[in-house]
Amino acid sequence: MTGSSRGPNDPERRDRIIDATLELVAERGVAGVTYRSAAQAAEVPLGSVTYYFDSLRQLLTEAFTRLAESESSRYGALLDRAATPQEAREAVVEIICGHQVGSERELLLSYELYAFAARNPELRSVMRSWMQRSRSALGRHFDARTARALDALIEGFIIHNSVDEEPTPREDIAVVVQAITG
């Protein structure tokens, strides 16, 4: 018998590399990611990483793009379920206070994305795209100016609450959201 004994082509290999890279970034930060560590984490040969990604920057960009798309989808899903303005306000509070968006892992990844984008201007498009999707989801319920303010408020409260010894209580956040949305 000739040929490889590894079985059929592995169509999910590229995705596993991206997912493993996100796990590495959450665990070690961007600085701790190499082609070799990504290959080991994804349990693929090193050559697979270099085959799919021309540079480490490309791999990180695609990983962060996946993060942004995933977070935007969860964020948008909460707002999609809102049928009334009050339900939309409650969805905003849930985005800030709930566990569906903003887990410790996602926060770490977000911080890494912010820092990486600050040092690599070409990655700012990933951030802008994420912000646009967030604002678009909010824009289904609020005018553009309010959606932009809510997007910044959401980011700010999530970041502050993640490090504050006394996070802002849900009830106080609901009052602020009500004040902004009228």
Q: Is the pLDDT score of 4 beyond 80?
A: no
Contact call for residues 141 and 88 (beta carbons, < 8 A):
yes
Q: Which domains does the chain have, with CATH numbers?
A: 11-53 (1.10.10.60), 67-181 (1.10.357.10)
Residues 28-75 pLDDT 10s: 999 999 999 999 999 999 999 999 999 999 999 999 999 999 988 988
* C-alpha span between 59 and 47 (Å, rounded): 14
Helices (H), 10-164: 13-28, 35-42, 46-52, 56-80, 85-97, 104-119, 124-139, 144-163
Q: What is the pLDDT of residue 100?
A: 64
pLDDT (mean) for 18-29: 97
pLDDT at 14 over 70: yes
